[in-house]
Structure 1
Amino acid sequence: MHFSIPETEVRSGENGSTYVAYNIHVNGVLHCRVRYSQLLGLHEQIKKEYGNNVVPAFPPKKIFTLTPAEVEQRREQLEKYMQALRQDPLLGASETFNSFLRKAQQETQQIPTEEVQLEVHLSNGQKVTVNILTSDQTEDVLEAVATKLDLPDDLVGYFSLFLIQEGEHGNCTFVRKLQEFELPFVSVTSLHNPDYHIVLRKSYWDSAYDSDVMENRVGLNLLYAQTVSDIERGWILVNKDQHRQLKSLQEKGSKKEFIRLAQTLKYFGYIKFDPCITDFPEKGCHVIVSAGNNELSFHVKLPNNQMKEGSFKVTRMRCWRVTSSQVPVANGTANPCSSIKCDVKLELAFEYLMSKDRLQWVTITSPQAIMMSICLQSMVDELMVKKSGGSIKKQMQKRRLNGSIHRSNSQQAVKSPPLLDSPDTSREQVPKLSTKLSSVSLRGISASNSANDLSGNDFHGNYAFEGIGDDDL
């Protein structure tokens, strides 16, 4: 996650006095607005819990009112402090830090704690309405959705909540995966834009985990709906023959076989990002990036309109970084961001082992740069878990034992009953998810649609740029 404090504000207090507020942005979006004293309180609490040797240095107090130059210096120092906290494996994952961020988010948006209904979308367009508190964190909401769907506890960890923006013609932009330090209801409602909503999607990359999910009826339905949706969007490439086979399996209701066939297709399980800019293989190239299968896949349009395809494996990335900068909407001032509106420019850069002895930096300029970084990190985390003999189920069990997933009695009281196949015959009957998903068709999917997107029938296997040979992997 990318933490920054790109700006400050002078605000009025309750007694009419003024104070400097520091706007904390997460992934380039305002998360909360806090005072220096609030961050100092957080620092003192963390120092008390973890000791002076663990906590990073905090900007000192000042006796007199700060000058503009001193405010700017403190802003930079607080930004580095927040980044250091988050990057520390112990402090960044602490409940003290995450709780502070959640409370600050709620206070900034001035949303009181109360019972509300929140709509969470499924891949097939169905909406699941859950009764929650506005102060419920991401894990609470995820559990509420799982309960409503009747998804078993041991499969909850296979799914996550994502914030997406709906575009034209069914397109969608993945903004971010909702984190443990935010309140989903506050995050989506504070945007004041109906195009943004929360969607439930699988959160793992290795398709071998699909077998675990498909053993459960609800898990199978969710995975099936996501697969159909990804095919319809053109995220998964399908030729005419494969389309016929998928259509036949769908008509037979053979969901497992449908998914297993889809697993053999290019870009199964990938997240596709909006068109953006890269400096590889040349500066200023337009590129479509997809993340999946422990790689970033590139489909590049060169300045001479030639098309190239390639992939970058995370196992060959030495490191990566995300940088943000303020870009003025209009020109003509030495310090434009202090007087006119600015846009945030985000870049993801990774150092890649092109050949045995050659490392090269590759840069992607995209509003989704942080989402790409999150995908890379989760791929690495998943590989490390597998290498150590762990699993998603073991991770989930550990988190439960550590108490990271919790719900008070009052929160339990507003949980909704399961949506699927309730054994309570006295309850009003609702449409089963399995029925809803069976109605999802492959309309709009054809070889020509795929060809217009990413080479369609000509896409055979994993391509690599010159200098990235299979022998090097």
Structure 2
Amino acid sequence: MHFSIPETEVRSGENGSTYVAYNIHVNGVLHCRVRYSQLLGLHEQIKKEYGSNVVPAFPPKKIFTLTPAEVEQRREQLEKYMQAVRQHPLLGTSEMFNSFLRKAQQETQQIPTEEVVLDICLSNGQKVTVNILTSDQTEDVLDAVATKLDLPEDLVGYFSLFLVREDVDGSLTFVRKLQDFELPYVSITSLRSSEFHIVLRKSYWDMAYDGDVMDNRVGLNLLYAQTVSDIERGWILVNKDQHRQLKSLQEKGSKKEFIHLGQTLKYYGYIKFDPCITDFPEKGCQVIVSAGNNELNFHVKLPNDQMKEGSFKVTRMRCWRVTSSQVPVSNGTTNPCSSAKCEVKLELSFEYLMSKDRLQWVTITSQQAIMMSICLQSMVDELMVKKSGGSIKKMLKKRHNGSIHRADSQQTVKSPPLLDSPDPNREQMVKLSVSACFPFAVLQCSSEQSCVIIYAPIHTSVNDTTDYSIQTKLNSVSLRGISASNSANDISGNDFHGNYAFEGIGDDDL
């Protein structure tokens, strides 16, 4: 999750006095508005519960009224504090922290606690109406949906609630996966737009776990509806012969066979993102990014209108980070940002093993950059659990209960709150709100034909000289090369392999 405090407001209190409010944004959207004293109270609670040596530094009190410069300095300090708490493997998932954010969200939107009805959409467009409280958190709403559908408790963790935006043409934009620090009813109501919906969708990536879901009638129906929907939207590629087979299975009501055939198709289980911009293989290229199968898939339109396709495996990403900047709206001026003339620019950058001895930064400029980062993180969580011999059911249950820590996935990461852009030649950022880095691997290559990633401690040097390291060492895992195109309806038969330094990488799978 991307936490930032990009702005402050001067507001009036109950007795007519004024105070400075700090607007906490999650994924670029206002989540809540809090006072310094509220955050100080949270800090004192956390310090009392977990100890002073665990809690990050908090900006000190001031005796006199703050000047505008001091307010800006405190805003930056509070932003770093919130990011540090959220990234901490213990504090960031604590009920104390989550309940503070939920209460602040409800108070900010001024929605009283009362019984309401909330519509949750399924992949086929059907709506499930549940009776909840406005103060119910994401887990409570998910449980209510599962109860209404008669989905067994041990399968609830296989699904999540996603906030999506549906355009007039029916296309879906995934905004984010709802978290346990927010109240779904408040989140959807505060958007004040009929374009936004909450959708139930599976929350795992490895299709091997489809079998667990399909053993149950309700789980089978949910997975079947999602597969049909993804095919109809063009997220899963199907040629004419495959389409005939799928239609025949659908007419027979053979849902399991339909899903099994779907599993063989390209982009099964992927989430497709809106068209955006990348600097690979050339700066300014248009790209459609999809996440799935432990990779980010690129479908790139080059400046000469040639189409290229390729994949970036998470096992070959040394680290990734999301940066948020405020840039002037294109109006022909170079004036600094003001609240009325700026827009938020999000970028996902990852450092990738292009060849045996060459790492390269690849950047995606997209308003869904944070959602992409969340997908990467959840893929890594699954890989780590699988590699360590852990139970995916336990991981999903912990994730559902809001208690999964990085230690559970063998990946404890402390992320630096502020980093420079990976490309020194990139356009100047007017204001850098936050940058999160998730280093998790040291790359080692033994020969031209084989490379491995060793999960081991990493120390990232940043301006404040703080060490951000992984605390758990794991065994090595093999790397997998780029997968070739296998669909008759693929836009281009060409991929990145052999053209953009993907050679020399072994094809061993995890």
1:53-95 residue CA offsets vs partner (Å, 9 max, x unmatched): 0000000000010000000000000000000001110110111
Higher relative contact order (CA 8 A, sep 6+): 1
Aligned to 2:336: 335
1:299-320 residue CA offsets vs partner (Å, 9 max, x unmatched): 0001111111000000000000
For 1:250 and 1:124, locate their aligned partners in 2 and report how far apart those are by CA, in whole Å: 14
Aligned-residue offset at 1:327:
2.0
Tell me: CA distance 1:268–1:80, structure 2 relative to 1, closer, same or farther (3 Å).
Answer: same
Q: Does 1:456 align with 2:457?
A: no
Aligned to 1:346: 346
Tell me: CA distance 1:401–1:205, structure 2 relative to 1, closer, same or farther (3 Å).
Answer: closer
For 2:360 and 2:3, locate their aligned partners in 1 and report how far apart those are by CA, in whole Å: 26
How high is the TM-score relative to the length of structure 2? 0.80
SS in 1 for 2:191: coil
Aligned to 2:431: none
SS in 2 for 1:169: coil
Q: Does 1:89 align with 2:89?
A: yes
Q: Does 1:110 align with 2:143?
A: no
Aligned-residue offset at 1:389:
1.8
Tell me: CA distance 1:386–1:87, structure 2 relative to 1, closer, same or farther (3 Å).
Answer: same
For 1:152 and 1:93, locate their aligned partners in 2 and report how far apart those are by CA, in whole Å: 25
SS in 1 for 2:46: helix
For 2:100 and 2:313, locate their aligned partners in 1 and report how far apart those are by CA, in whole Å: 36
How high is the TM-score relative to the length of structure 1? 0.86
Aligned to 1:468: 502
Aligned-residue offset at 1:342:
2.2
For 1:237 and 1:401, locate their aligned partners in 2 and report how far apart those are by CA, in whole Å: 34
For 1:39 and 1:370, locate their aligned partners in 2 and report how far apart those are by CA, in whole Å: 24
Report if aligned partners of 1:266, 1:461 keep a CA contact under 8 Å in 2. no
Aligned to 1:250: 250
1:262-299 residue CA offsets vs partner (Å, 9 max, x unmatched): 00000000000000000000000000000000000000
Report if aligned partners of 2:56, 2:84 keep a CA contact under 8 Å in 1. yes
1:79-113 residue CA offsets vs partner (Å, 9 max, x unmatched): 00000001110110111111101111101000011
For 2:28 and 2:367, locate their aligned partners in 1 and report how far apart those are by CA, in whole Å: 9
Q: Which amino acid aligns with 2:489?
A: G
Report if aligned partners of 1:24, 1:31 keep a CA contact under 8 Å in 2. yes
Report if aligned partners of 1:119, 1:127 keep a CA contact under 8 Å in 2. yes
Aligned-residue offset at 1:388:
2.0
Tell me: CA distance 1:171–1:214, structure 2 relative to 1, closer, same or farther (3 Å).
Answer: same
Report if aligned partners of 2:156, 2:400 keep a CA contact under 8 Å in 1. no
Q: Which amino acid aligns with 1:159?
A: F
For 2:397 and 2:145, locate their aligned partners in 1 and report how far apart those are by CA, in whole Å: 19
Aligned to 1:414: none
Aligned-residue offset at 1:334:
4.1
Aligned-residue offset at 1:383:
0.6
- Kindly tell me the number of residue pairs found equivalent between the two proteins: 423
For 1:377 and 1:456, locate their aligned partners in 2 and report how far apart those are by CA, in whole Å: 30
SS in 1 for 2:322: strand
Aligned to 1:411: none
For 2:12 and 2:130, locate their aligned partners in 1 and report how far apart those are by CA, in whole Å: 37
For 1:138 and 1:3, locate their aligned partners in 2 and report how far apart those are by CA, in whole Å: 18
Counterparts in 2 of 1:250-269, with a 5 A limit? 250-269=250-269
Aligned-residue offset at 1:392:
3.1
For 2:279 and 2:500, locate their aligned partners in 1 and report how far apart those are by CA, in whole Å: 15
Aligned-residue offset at 1:180:
1.0
SS in 2 for 1:170: coil
Aligned to 1:197: 197
SS in 1 for 2:72: helix
Aligned to 1:234: 234
Aligned-residue offset at 1:463:
6.1
Of 360-369 and 329-338, the range deviating more from structure 2: 329-338
For 1:333 and 1:102, locate their aligned partners in 2 and report how far apart those are by CA, in whole Å: 39
For 1:460 and 1:54, locate their aligned partners in 2 and report how far apart those are by CA, in whole Å: 53
For 1:402 and 1:297, locate their aligned partners in 2 and report how far apart those are by CA, in whole Å: 29
Aligned-residue offset at 1:182:
0.5
Aligned-residue offset at 1:332:
4.4
SS in 1 for 2:45: helix
For 1:310 and 1:399, locate their aligned partners in 2 and report how far apart those are by CA, in whole Å: 31
Tell me: CA distance 1:99–1:470, structure 2 relative to 1, closer, same or farther (3 Å).
Answer: farther
Aligned-residue offset at 1:394:
1.7
For 1:167 and 1:279, locate their aligned partners in 2 and report how far apart those are by CA, in whole Å: 27
Report if aligned partners of 2:5, 2:76 keep a CA contact under 8 Å in 1. yes
Tell me: CA distance 1:458–1:65, structure 2 relative to 1, closer, same or farther (3 Å).
Answer: closer
For 2:73 and 2:328, locate their aligned partners in 1 and report how far apart those are by CA, in whole Å: 21
Counterparts in 2 of 1:198-347, with a 5 A limit? 198-329=198-329, 330=331, 332=333, 334-338=335-339, 340-347=340-347
Report if aligned partners of 1:10, 1:18 keep a CA contact under 8 Å in 2. yes
For 2:504 and 2:176, locate their aligned partners in 1 and report how far apart those are by CA, in whole Å: 32
Gaps of 5+ in 1: 405-453
Aligned to 1:423: none
Q: Which amino acid aligns with 1:471?
A: I
Aligned-residue offset at 1:326:
1.0
For 1:402 and 1:459, locate their aligned partners in 2 and report how far apart those are by CA, in whole Å: 42
Tell me: CA distance 1:149–1:85, structure 2 relative to 1, closer, same or farther (3 Å).
Answer: same
Aligned-residue offset at 1:470:
7.3
For 1:50 and 1:337, locate their aligned partners in 2 and report how far apart those are by CA, in whole Å: 40
SS in 1 for 2:98: helix
Report if aligned partners of 1:154, 1:396 keep a CA contact under 8 Å in 2. no
For 2:494 and 2:204, locate their aligned partners in 1 and report how far apart those are by CA, in whole Å: 21
Tell me: CA distance 1:268–1:107, structure 2 relative to 1, closer, same or farther (3 Å).
Answer: same
Aligned to 2:66: 66
For 1:236 and 1:460, locate their aligned partners in 2 and report how far apart those are by CA, in whole Å: 17
Tell me: CA distance 1:162–1:72, structure 2 relative to 1, closer, same or farther (3 Å).
Answer: same
| Structure holding more helix per residue | 1
For 1:57 and 1:193, locate their aligned partners in 2 and report how far apart those are by CA, in whole Å: 39
Report if aligned partners of 1:287, 1:299 keep a CA contact under 8 Å in 2. yes
SS in 1 for 2:92: coil
Report if aligned partners of 1:157, 1:392 keep a CA contact under 8 Å in 2. no
For 2:397 and 2:369, locate their aligned partners in 1 and report how far apart those are by CA, in whole Å: 31
SS in 1 for 2:338: helix
Report if aligned partners of 2:98, 2:180 keep a CA contact under 8 Å in 1. yes
Q: Which amino acid aligns with 2:242?
A: Q
Aligned-residue offset at 1:168:
2.9
For 1:120 and 1:93, locate their aligned partners in 2 and report how far apart those are by CA, in whole Å: 25
Aligned-residue offset at 1:395:
2.7
For 1:321 and 1:399, locate their aligned partners in 2 and report how far apart those are by CA, in whole Å: 22
Aligned-residue offset at 1:151:
0.2
Q: Does 1:145 align with 2:145?
A: yes
Report if aligned partners of 1:4, 1:79 keep a CA contact under 8 Å in 2. yes
Aligned-residue offset at 1:344:
0.8
For 2:354 and 2:229, locate their aligned partners in 1 and report how far apart those are by CA, in whole Å: 34
Tell me: CA distance 1:403–1:115, structure 2 relative to 1, closer, same or farther (3 Å).
Answer: farther
